[in-house]
Every structure is written in C-alpha cells, then in structure tokens.
Amino acid sequence: MKLLILGATGPTGRHVVDLAVAAGDTVTVLARRPEALDEPAGQVTVVAGDATSHSAVAKAMTGQDVVISALGRSTSVRADDLFTRAAAAVIGAATEQGVSRLVWLSSFGVGDTYRSASVAQKVMYRTFLRNIYANKELSEKAIRSSGLDWTLVYPTLLTKGPAKGGYLAGERLPMKGNPSISRADVADFLYKAAHSPEWIHRDAVITDGR
C-alpha cells in the first residue's frame, strides 16, 4: 500500500512510519523539517513542505492510496489554526488527486466525544485544552462533510510508554478518571485502520485496556 503520512516527525507519526516501513509499505512523508527524519534511503520518500499548504500536500499525495495524519501541537495548548488549515489542504488535495481514504488523529474530548468524558477529563478539556480542541472540532466538521472515506481517531491521554497491544477501541467507551494510551498503541491503530475498511465513516475512541 502507498501511504502518505503527515506529522511523521512527531512522536506518534514516527511510530506510524516505523510500522509502515517494517510491513513493506511504500511510504511518503511531508515534513517541514526533512532533516528530522533519519529513515534509510529508498524506504521513505520525504517531501519538504507544510501540511497546511494545498500545493505541498497535493504534491506529496500524488499516487497515494491512503493519507494518515498524525499532526499535533506537541506541548502547546494553542492551535494557531493548524488543524483547520491542514484539513482544508488535505481535503482539497485529496479531491484533486483522487485519493479518498483518510485516517485523521484527533483527541478524546473533541466534539461529541466530550459527552462521554469523565469529570476529571472535562475539567482539563474546558480549561487548558479549550483553544486547541475548538480548532480540532472545526477541522473535523470539514472532514465529515468532505465526501472522503474518513476515520477520526480519538485517543485518551497520550503517554511515551511501549505498545501493549491490549487497547480498547469503540465508537463510545465508558471513562473513569483520566485514562491514557501509549503513542505506540495509537500508531498501531492508525496503521491498522488505514489497511481496513472497518472504520470508514466512523469515530474510533481508543484507550489502554489494561
């Protein structure tokens, strides 16, 4: 499969790249800082550019089967319109290039998933993450109405731990306290969703099941 990975230099995106390379997929990444990648030559095609640029995304998307977005704002709580701008670029480029499949990483607590959040989670979402979550919600409204074969992925609190493989995935999951999931397990789900029709036009809430 030919995969375009956005956010490949981030901690979750790097895991996705590693999984795809190990499985023998044809991998292209779009990166503002190509020097941040140290993938073996010939296994990953690196296109220099910004995920919010229609022309850059369209160039990287040429000939791809699936787009996986693992874009994030690292430790920042300000969106700076990253997600709405990237969604617009991806939707436009996908329409132009005839690519229909999109797996898009979001965060639990965005949009309708907020209603299933625990009290502890809701406090954090209403305060520290308010700005970034509002921008994510707007981007996802555009994706839902885009006509693409989208999957929106909503992990709980992200950790740096190793993959456990026992995570839970569902359109709605009960929450207590402030559950978490490793970035490695999130990447595993993103990768598997890209290779299966199971989650097309569905929300996927994921969290550690152990």
The one-letter code for the residue type at 161 is G
CB of 175 within 8 A of CB of 144?
no
Which of 27, 116, 16, 19 has its CA nearest to residue 64? 27
Per the listing, tokens 């299966």 go with 196
Instruction: Quickly list H helices, the chain.
Output: 11-23, 54-61, 82-97, 119-126, 130-144, 183-194
Asked whether 196 and 2 are in contact (CB, 8 A), the reply is no
pTM (2 decimals)?
Answer: 0.94
Are residues 80 and 72 in contact, defined by beta-carbon separation less than 8 angstroms? no
pLDDT, one tens digit for every residue, the chain (210 residues):
999 999 999 999 999 999 999 999 999 999 988 777 776 556 899 999 999 999 999 999 999 999 999 998 766 667 789 999 999 999 999 999 999 999 999 999 999 999 888 888 889 888 888 899 999 999 999 999 999 999 999 999 999 989 998 899 999 998 888 899 999 999 999 999 999 999 999 999 999 976
